[in-house]
Amino acid sequence: MTRLDQVEQTPGRLAGPPLTPRTAVIWSVLRAELERRAGTALTVLDVGGGTGGFAVPLAQAGHRVTVVDASPDALAALTRRAAEAGVAERVRAVQGDGDALAGLVEPGSADLVLCHAVLEVVDDPAAVVAALVAALRPGGAASVLVAGRSAAVLGRAMNGHLDVAAVLAADPVGAAGARDTLRRRYDADGAAALLGAAGLVVEEIHGVRVLADLLPAAVADGQPAALVELERALAAQAPWRDLAAQLHLFARRP
């Protein structure tokens, strides 16, 4: 039995965020942290939290969540979603740039910081990670999700774009030139080094969407529960973890 299996079988305060191949592994890791702090209303910061896919369930579980995001549209959707879920008073929307995070959040105030699918688009990921660390209280945890480099190479190649796959594979930061939607991608060592250089201790690394993006839609849509189970089973295993579309790092400020 893996640690993720054990966590899923533990009843927690986090009732019912939908488990999809995009979210199941991340929620498993977060649920373990919430269980560790059970009974405490945590102060959560979600950088680039968008429309609140994580923020709203965390607020529903009783935690106070501040979402910093560059997009006014995303924040408007977040605010509506929080109101519909009855947790508007526990969700604060702040428009701002992750690159200027240091000026937006109180130092040492957060128990948990989320930074999901953001470091691959900001100007200066090291500055954003440094600001995340500064926002955390000692002992606080960071949940960081980044785009995986190997999966991008595989995906381009399997779609027949061998030239783009070759550029991506050779590029020092794992981007495919000016038309790429992302500015960089990571492997596990590179992402762990980024967090470690800012003073975080990386506790766990999982692959997210090892298979989901590679399967025919009929398989993924036809067997969703089996796919979630398989994703969870493969998430921490070599070589699957390192082929995932995204890498999830769970780290702590000492």
Ligand X SMILES: C[S@@+](CC[C@H](N)C(=O)[O-])C[C@H]1O[C@@H](n2cnc3c(N)ncnc32)[C@H](O)[C@@H]1O
Binding-site ranges for ligand X (CB under 6 A):
48-50, 53, 69-71, 74, 97-99, 116-118, 121-122
Nearer to ligand X, 72 or 222 (CB): 72
Question: Nearest distance from residue 218's CB to ligand X, in Å?
Answer: 25
Closer residue to ligand X, CB minimum distance, 72 or 239 = 72
Q: Whole-angstrom Cα distance, residue 239 to residue 14? A: 31
Q: How far is the CB of 170 from ligand X (least distance, A)?
A: 25
Q: Are strands 64-69 and 43-47 parallel, antiparallel or unpaired?
A: parallel
Alpha-carbon distance values, 89 to 78, 92, 112 (Å) = 13, 8, 18
Distance CA 41, CA 61 (A): 9
Which of 23, 43 has the CB closer to ligand X? 23
Closer residue to ligand X in complex, CB, 48/57:
48
Tell me whether residue 60 is exposed, middle or buried, using C-beta atoms within 10 angstroms of its C-beta: 0 to 12, 13 to 18, 19 or more: buried
Q: How far is CA 74 from the centre of its chain?
A: 17
> In the structure encoding, which two tokens stand for residue 24, read together?
């199941």
Q: Which is nearer to ligand X, 85 or 157 (CB)?
A: 85
The amino acid occupying position 105 is V
